Amino acid sequence: MGFTKLRELRDRFEQQWINGGFIFGYENEINENHNNDYPLLVVLPPTSELPATEGDVQEEYTFECLVVKPYYQNQAGSLDVVFSLLEQEALTWLQRVLDSYANKEVILSPDSISVEREKELYNDKLIQVRLTFTLNAFSHSLLAIDEALVSAYSPKVWLKADMGVKTEFFGGNEVVNKWIDQSGNGNHFEQTTSTYKPLFKYEEGQNGYPYLEFDGTNGFMKCVNDGINSNGLNEFHTIVWVALPDINTSGVFLSKKSTFPNTERFEINSTATGSNYRWKVVVNDDDNDEIVSTDSPRTKTAVMGYYLHNKSVHLFGNGVHESTSTNSAFDHDGWDFGTEQPIILGSKRDSSPTEPFKGQVQELIIFNSDLTDEQIVQVQNYLKHKYNI
Q: What per-residue confidence (pLDDT) applies to 139?
A: 40
Residue 177: Cβ-neighbour burial (10 angstroms; 0-12, 13-18, 19+): middle
Q: Which of 117, 142, 167 delimits the end of a domain? A: 142
Same domain, residue pair 115 and 229 = no
Same domain, residue pair 327 and 354 = yes
Same domain, residue pair 125 and 193 = no
DSSP string spanning 81-135?
HHHHHHHHHHHHHHHHHHHT-TT--SEEPTT--EEEEEEEETTTTEEEEEEEEEE
Q: Would you call 9 helix, strand, or coil by DSSP?
A: helix
| pLDDT tens per residue across all 389 residues of the chain | 455 667 778 888 999 999 999 999 999 888 888 888 999 999 999 887 655 554 455 667 889 999 999 887 655 567 888 899 999 999 999 989 988 877 666 677 766 788 888 887 777 788 999 999 988 743 444 455 568 889 999 999 999 999 999 999 999 999 999 999 999 999 999 999 999 999 999 866 678 889 999 999 989 999 999 888 777 788 899 999 999 999 999 999 999 886 655 666 889 999 998 899 999 999 988 778 899 998 889 999 999 999 999 999 999 999 999 999 999 999 877 777 777 788 999 998 766 678 899 999 999 999 999 999 999 999 999 999 889 89
Q: Which helix (H) or strand (E) holds 302?
A: strand 302-309
C-alpha span between 142 and 139 (Å, rounded):
10
pTM listed for this prediction = 0.82
Tell me, what CATH number does 175's domain have?
Answer: 2.60.120.200
Which domain covers residue 373, as residue numbers? Answer: 147-386
Same domain, residue pair 200 and 296 = yes
Q: Which of 142, 174, 204 delimits the end of a domain? A: 142
Whether the Cβ atoms of residue 283 and residue 275 lie closer than 8 Å to each other: no
Same domain, residue pair 151 and 297 = yes
Same domain, residue pair 253 and 361 = yes
Q: How many CB atoms lie within 10 A of CB 64?
A: 17
C-alpha span between 291 and 312 (Å, rounded):
7
Q: What per-residue confidence (pLDDT) applies to 110?
A: 67
Whether the Cβ atoms of residue 372 and residue 237 lie closer than 8 Å to each other: no
Alpha-carbon distances, residue 329 vs 29, 282, 290 (angstroms): 62, 14, 8
Geometric angle at alpha carbon 161, from 358 and 228, rounded to 5°? 85
Same domain, residue pair 105 and 136 = yes
Whether the Cβ atoms of residue 202 and residue 210 lie closer than 8 Å to each other: yes
Whether the Cβ atoms of residue 16 and residue 91 lie closer than 8 Å to each other: no
Asked, as a colleague might, if the bond just before 39 is cis with ω within 30 of 0, I would say yes
Same domain, residue pair 329 and 186 = yes
C-alpha span between 131 and 118 (Å, rounded):
11
Same domain, residue pair 204 and 118 = no
Among candidate residues 108, 176, 183, 115, the one with its CA nearest the CA of residue 152: 183
Q: Which of 119, 142, 165 delimits the end of a domain? A: 142
Same domain, residue pair 186 and 77 = no
Q: What per-residue confidence (pLDDT) applies to 141?
A: 44
Query: Which residues neighbour 75 within 8 Å (Cβ) at sequence distance 6 or greater?
Result: 169, 173, 174, 202
Q: What per-residue confidence (pLDDT) applies to 350?
A: 65
Q: What angle, 0 to 180 degrees and rounded to 10, lies between the N-to-C axes of helices 79-99 and 3-16?
A: 130
Give the total number of structural domains in the chain: 2
Same domain, residue pair 135 and 202 = no
C-alpha span between 106 and 99 (Å, rounded):
10
Q: List, in sequence order, every residue forming a beta bridge with 363; answer none if it has no partner.
A: 160, 242
Among candidate residues 357, 387, 361, 384, the one with its CA nearest the CA of residue 270: 357
